[in-house]
Amino acid sequence: MTERHDHTHETNAGSSQIRTAALEDLLVEKGIVDRSRIDSLVERFEHDLGPMIGARLVARAWLESEFQSRLVRDADEVLRQENIRGAEIEHVEVKVNEPGVHNVVVCTLCSCYPWALLGLPPAWYKSPEYRARVVREPRKVLEEMGLSLEPDTEIRVWDSSSETRFLVLPEQPAGSEGLSMEDLAALVTRDSMIGVAKALNP
């Protein structure tokens, strides 16, 4: 049946809209999917999921070095203990930025991403350009995205897969000592946890 679909990539947005409607309607008629369930799933992904969950982990790791070591040693165990569950975080590794080492995350094959920690990925993360180029010329790509790193900083690029998702633990910005966890979390952007930006300055 696959050969029937070889033309799919020629479709424009209009026909994608039509094909999606046809597909959804047929599945609804067969009782395979349910429209109100789809509505509520989309709603959750659009509104309830976002990088604040990851940001809280980062803020707490900045505040408590013991928590940070546990997070780096076994993030899965910490997520279990914190009761953070959900899609696409079956196995998570946390990579720590420190002076001289910068981590950045990509999924070269598709769009793997820790949904339950960061929400759905931004469009650029899924783009062919980012996926191909950040591996080949990370320093240049980061610079284009507004992050200039010292020439002697080592850049480590982590390729996500169905087995492993990554979260970058950005460096705590200078001047943020003494802030509450909540205020710290507000400095931790989605992009800083992908590794294409630093945490915000207070």
Partner 1 sequence: MTDLEVLDGSPAAPPRDNGELIFEAPWQSRAFGVAADLVASGHFTWNDFREYLIEAISEWEAVESDEQQSWDYYSCWLAALERILTKRSFLDGKEFEIRAAQYASRPHGHDH
- Contacts for 116 with CB less than 8 Å, ≥ 6 apart: 49, 53, 84, 85, 86, 87, 88, 89
3 state DSSP class of 133: helix
Q: How far is the CB of 150 from partner 1 (least distance, A)?
A: 27
Question: Whose structure tokens read 């990370």?
Answer: 138
Spatial distance between the Cα atoms of 28 and 39, rounded to a whole number of angstroms? 13
Q: How far is the CB of 154 from partner 1 (least distance, A)?
A: 28
96-to-19, 68, 101, 102, 146 alpha-carbon distances in Å = 43, 9, 8, 8, 20
Residues that bind partner 1 (CB under 8 A): 1-2, 4-5, 8-13, 15-27, 30, 32-34, 37-39, 41-42, 44-53, 55-56, 83-88, 109-112, 115-116, 119-120, 122-123, 126-128, 162, 189-190
| Beta carbon nearer to partner 1, 13 or 174 | 13
| Beta carbon nearer to partner 1, 17 or 148 | 17
- Contacts for 124 with CB less than 8 Å, ≥ 6 apart: 130
| Beta carbon nearer to partner 1, 48 or 152 | 48
* Residues taking part in catalysis: 107, 110-112
Q: How far is the CB of 198 from partner 1 (least distance, A)?
A: 15
| Beta carbon nearer to partner 1, 73 or 85 | 85
Q: At what angle do helices 52-63 and 65-73 cross, to 10 degrees?
A: 120
Q: How far is the CB of 77 from partner 1 (least distance, A)?
A: 15
